């Protein structure tokens, strides 16, 4: 069986500066889950519980390390035993005419086979690189992975993972793959075109103008060097890409005025004191006059779920 990916139901952007729910575009609102203690994933003898060597949400120090990452999730067999057990479960179900991906979805969707989902290791790849191993902070959230498996994947599928980064996975956890463990609290998945369609379009901008502008800005954020969603800079950018439609509206407006996006910068805010606040600055340069306009939005990155402090507004260098 080849590697497999997952998705969850599409969720919406929130553009209110005080909004603290973290749901991407298109879903009903929901409250933030309370913090829970981390429990071990089945098949992972060293990632939690009594006698375990490591807590997935602990990075070995006193300060939590948060992740807000955008990539693709794949399901893999951690060892030969799990693969053979999956094969036996497959033999008990009618899968005639189904692809391997559809077979995986069919088998794991059976409640009697839910134990198999707990045996799999779930890998988040970013820009094609294996970046994190995912472990649910609440064991019940394994259902999110099962319910979200894409029977028919698309190259433009997107997965967003929000959680806490922990230690490097031991070799026995996922067949020798040693990348950081992320104990996730939420996963959102959707196709890129669904994300673009769900962004509110400005009244004066046509769909033909807005869609390419929004996709261009989204791609620029994803293609930033080493954006693994683990630093304040990258978490802020990924959060804005998923939650704040005003940055897309401004991009479409300025592209229509013959401006190019020439820079995206994240820096600590002068407003930071007891809170960790960053300034995200977007620079647009006129293609004819070479005049540059800048726009700033502030985000609070103190805890696991970022939120807006200041809406997008003109920025002037001091």
pLDDT computed for residue 230 by the predictor: 95
pLDDT computed for residue 37 by the predictor: 36
pLDDT computed for residue 246 by the predictor: 93
pLDDT computed for residue 225 by the predictor: 67
CA dist., res. 288 & res. 304, Å (int): 42
Q: What is the residue extent of each domain of the chain? A: 4-192, 199-315
pLDDT computed for residue 317 by the predictor: 82
Distant-in-sequence, close-in-space partners of 246: CB < 8 Å, separation ≥ 6: 15, 297, 311, 312
pLDDT computed for residue 196 by the predictor: 86
pLDDT computed for residue 169 by the predictor: 95
Low-confidence residues of the chain, pLDDT below 50? 1-13, 18-23, 25-54
| Tokens 């920025």 -> residue | 315
């Amino acid at each position: 069986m080849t590697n497999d990916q997952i998705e969850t139901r599409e969720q919406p952007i929130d553009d209110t500066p005080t909004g603290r729910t973290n749901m991407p575009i298109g879903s009903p609102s929901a409250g933030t889950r309370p913090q829970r203690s981390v429990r071990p994933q089945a098949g992972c003898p060293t990632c939690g519980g009594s006698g375990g060597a490591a807590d997935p949400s602990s990075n070995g120090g006193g300060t939590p390390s948060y992740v807000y990452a955008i990539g693709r999730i794949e399901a893999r067999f951690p060892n030969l035993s799990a693969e053979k057990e999956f094969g036996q479960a497959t033999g008990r179900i009618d899968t005639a005419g189904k692809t391997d991906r559809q077979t995986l979805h069919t088998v794991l969707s059976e409640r009697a086979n839910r134990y198999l989902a707990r045996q799999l290791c779930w890998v988040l790849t970013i820009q094609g690189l294996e970046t994190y191993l995912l472990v649910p902070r609440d064991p019940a959230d394994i259902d999110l992975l099962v319910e979200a498996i894409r029977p028919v994947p698309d190259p433009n599928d997107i997965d967003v993972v929000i959680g806490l980064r922990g230690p490097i996975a031991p070799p026995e956890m996922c067949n020798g793959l040693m990348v950081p463990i992320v104990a996730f609290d939420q996963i959102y998945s959707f196709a890129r075109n669904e994300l673009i369609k769900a962004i509110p379009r400005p009244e004066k901008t046509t769909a033909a103008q807005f869609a390419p502008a929004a996709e261009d800005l989204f791609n620029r954020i994803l293609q930033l060097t080493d954006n693994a969603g683990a630093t304040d800079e990258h978490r802020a950018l990924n959060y804005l890409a998923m939650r704040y439609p005003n940055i897309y509206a401004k991009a479409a407006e300025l592209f229509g005025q013959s401006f190019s996006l020439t820079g995206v910068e994240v820096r600590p805010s002068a407003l930071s004191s007891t809170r960790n606040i960053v300034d995200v600055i977007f620079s647009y340069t006129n293609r004819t006059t070479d005049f540059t306009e800048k726009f700033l939005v502030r985000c609070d990155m103190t805890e696991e779920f970022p939120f807006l402090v200041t809406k997008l507004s003109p920025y002037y260098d001091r």
